[in-house]
Each structure stands twice: as C-alpha cells, then as structure tokens.
Amino acid sequence: MKLGAFVLAAVAVTGGVLGQGCSRNRQEAVLMATKGDQEVKVNVDGAINDYEQATRLDPTNHRILFKLAMAYRKKEDWDKVASTLARAASLAPQYANYWFERGYAIEMQARKKVVASFEEAREPFQKCVEHDSNYAECYEELGNVFLYTDDEPNALQNYTKAVEHDPSNLSYYNVLADLYIRLGYMTQAEQVLKEAKSFLKPSDKSQAKANFGVHMLLAQVYQDRGSQAEQVAELEAAKAAAPEGAEAIQILFALGSTYALLPQPRSAEAIQMLRGFNARACKGAKAQTYRTECETTQTLVAKLGGTLQ
C-alpha cells in the first residue's frame, strides 16, 4: 500500500471511530436530558445535574441548553440563565425565545442590581423581535428596558407594538395606558383603555389582575378629569373584578375614600369599605406598608361620624 493510501485509510478508520463516539455521546446526552425532564417538576436540582451532564456530553445541543436554562430559571439563578442562553443563542440564533429569556434574565439581574444597567438587556430583546416580529412579549419587555433607561418615546412605541401583536392581552394595554397617564396624556390613556374593554372577559381568571387594572386606570383618568360618576363606576367595576390578594385590599381603600369624598358622601358604604380595609391592612406586618392609607382611613371615618370597630 502506498503511503498516501495508507494515511487516507487510517484517517477514515479513525474518523469512523470518532464519529461513532460522537454519535454515542449525543445519544447519551438525549437520554440524560430525558431523565432531567422527568425530574424537573419535583427535583429541580436533580434535573439541573442531569442537564449539565447532558450538555457536557453534547455541548452543541441547543435544546438541552435551553432546558438547563429553564431549570435555572425555576431557582431564579438569573446569572446562569443568562450565560446558558448565551450559549444556546450562539448555536441557534434564529430561536427568538432564547433571546427573550436571555434578555429577561439580564433584566432580573438589573432589578436586583447584579448587573450594571438595564441597557444590557436591550440587545437580546431587539434580537428577539428581529427573529420573530410577532413576539408581543418581547416588545413589552423592550418597552420596559426603554422606560427604565428614561426613553419614554421608545417605551411607548414598543408597548404599542405589544398591543398590536397581541390585542387580547390586557396587560399590554395597562402598561401603555399607565405610561400615558404618568406623562399626562389622559386622552390617549382613555382611548387605549376603552379599546382594552372590548377584550374584557370577567370569567377569565387568568386575566383577573389585568381586568382589575383596566378599571383602576380608567378611574384615574376620570378622577383627573373631575368626572366623579364615571370614576365611581370604574372603581365599582374594579371591586367586582379584583382577585383575592393585594388588589382586593387596595380597592377597599380606593372605593371607600372616594365614597367619603363625594360632594354628597355615601357615608354608610364608605365606612363599610374603610372598615374592611382597616381590618385587612392596618394591623400586623401590613400596617407599615399601608401607613398613609391607614391614617387617612381613620381621619375619613371619624369625619363621617363612624368608628373602625
């Protein structure tokens, strides 16, 4: 056998062996990742260990890297979420959800002041919409980043795009309307919220908080305008929509204080609402959180000739 032919034959044999080894590693990686899938809901640390082993066996499998990142997400280990998704996105940049989750992880770190600024989250969210122009949640988060960096015009633009790409999601209307209100654009806020009302589904529990938010924001618009009847109507609708939790406490004060301050106070209803608020918010650990509202509640009830007992 000539030397050249011998070398070619050796390379072919070696390549075949290596190829079989790589294929075996890929298969083992998939099996290990499947084991992680079975554990992730009940033992996230065990699943993370499985996924990490799988990524070592096959560092080119971006789907396993994404699974690992989502397991880290369950533990709110945002630094590892971001770094793992950087690897996944470099392998498969066309997957918009990789960019979205990476941007969100960086945003969470910025909120906790772990990274320098929110600006670091901008590029992943921009990459997200570049690869999927219909990804509404990416527009919302990009709007958040612009808002955090004091760029209100771009925040408004991206919140608007979120609404356009998913008009059934009430939370997008709320963030857009809230920013309009803070900027003093009450007419625009009212227009956005009235549009949101056409998508209200009171029976949809998954949208309960957003439904509540629509009514509360409209109440702010009408309060600013001095339209008390419309303000009261929206607050009453908010009370009907309020899910159990902070919203159910907040509305007791908002509606009770509004009843109390009407030109012709609805005293009995005001006292009832404010008593409920006092019982739920002005005792124990919550009292400090609602300190101002609790003091106002005492003043209003006394003014109306009632007591908090």
DSSP 207-224: GHHHHHHHHHHHHHHHHH
pLDDT in tens, 31-73: 999 999 999 999 999 999 999 999 999 999 999 999 999 999 9
Give me the phi and psi of 248, to 5 degrees please: -65, -25
Rounded mean pLDDT, 3-11 = 39
Give residue 13's pLDDT: 38
Rounded mean pLDDT, 152-160 = 98
Decide if 281 is inside a domain.
yes
Decide if 64 is inside a domain.
no
Decide if 285 is inside a domain.
yes
Q: Look up residue 287 and give its two tokens.
A: 């009292």
* Residue 201 confidence class, pLDDT cut points 50, 70, 90: confident
d(C-alpha 78, C-alpha 148), whole Å: 19
Give residue 21's pLDDT: 57
Q: Look up residue 294 and give its two tokens.
A: 């609790």
d(C-alpha 171, C-alpha 103), whole Å: 19
Average of per-residue pLDDT values in the chain: 92
pLDDT in tens, 253-275: 999 999 999 999 999 999 999 99
Identify which has the larger pLDDT, 137 or 201.
Answer: 137
Q: Look up residue 4 and give its two tokens.
A: 């050249």
Rounded mean pLDDT, 7-14 = 38
81, 69 Cβ separation under 8 angstroms? yes
Decide if 292 is inside a domain.
yes
Give residue 20's pLDDT: 57
266: number of Cβ within 10 Å: 17
Decide if 309 is inside a domain.
yes
Locus of tokens 């709007």: 143
Decide if 284 is inside a domain.
yes
201: number of Cβ within 10 Å: 12
With a CB cutoff of 8 Å and minimum separation 6, the contacts of 8 are: none
Give residue 23's pLDDT: 83
* Residue 5 confidence class, pLDDT cut points 50, 70, 90: very low
Decide if 253 is inside a domain.
yes
Decide if 45 is inside a domain.
no
* Residue 1 confidence class, pLDDT cut points 50, 70, 90: very low
* Residue 202 confidence class, pLDDT cut points 50, 70, 90: confident
Give residue 8's pLDDT: 38
Task: Report the domain count for the chain.
Answer: 1
pLDDT at 9 over 50: no
Q: What residue numbers bound the domain in which 309 lies?
A: 248-260+272-309
